[in-house]
Amino acid sequence: MTATSSSLWSEPLSRDECQRHLEDATAARVLLSLRGLPAALSAQIELAEEDHLVISSRENAVLLAARRGDVISVQIDGLDANDHTWSVTATGIAVWASSEEFEGGRFKRIADCGAALAILPLSVVTGQRAP
C-alpha cells in the first residue's frame, strides 16, 4: 500500500488575511510549554495596532509565560463564507501587562474579566485555508 503525501492545507493566507481573522476573533488557544510538555489553553484576544495581540486568560501558565518572556503562540480557526476551514497562528515573545494599562476604552471587554493580561507581538504570523 502506498501513501500519498498531500497536505490538508493547500492555500496559505497572506499576512493581511491572517490579521483580519485575528481582528475578528474573540477566543483563541494559547500554545505554550507547561512542565516541558505542549499545552493549549483557552484565552480571549484582541488585536492592538495591527502588530500586537492582547491576551486575557485565567490560566496561571499564561501569566507565568508572559512574566518570563517565553515564546508562545496563539491559534484561531474558523470557516469562511464558502465553508472552507482556515487556521491562523501568531507567535512571539510574550510580555506581561497590567490591567490598568487597558482600563476602559477599546480593551474593556477583555480587561474587565479579572484575568491576567499578556501582550504578544506578531513576530511570526502564518495561516492556511483548506481547499
pLDDT of residue 3: 43
- CA–CA distance, 72 with 85 (Å, rounded to integer): 23
User: Is this model's pTM higher than 0.85 or not?
Assistant: no
Cell numbers standing for residue 69: 518572556
- Each of the 131 residues of the chain gets a pLDDT tens digit; together they read 444 444 554 799 999 999 999 999 999 999 999 888 999 999 999 998 889 999 998 889 999 999 999 999 999 999 988 888 999 999 999 999 876 665 555 555 565 566 778 999 999 999 999 87
- For residues 96-119, one letter each, b for 16 or more C-beta atoms within 10 angstroms of the residue's C-beta and e for the rest, the string is bbebeebeeeebeebbeeebbbbb
CA-to-CA distance for 18 and 32, rounded, in angstroms?
A: 20
Q: Could you state, in order of their start, the residue ranges of all structural domains in the chain? A: 11-97+109-129
Query: Topology of domain 11-97+109-129, per CATH?
Result: Pnp Oxidase; Chain A (2.30.110)
What's the CA gap between 44 and 26, in Å, rounded? 5
pLDDT of residue 8: 54
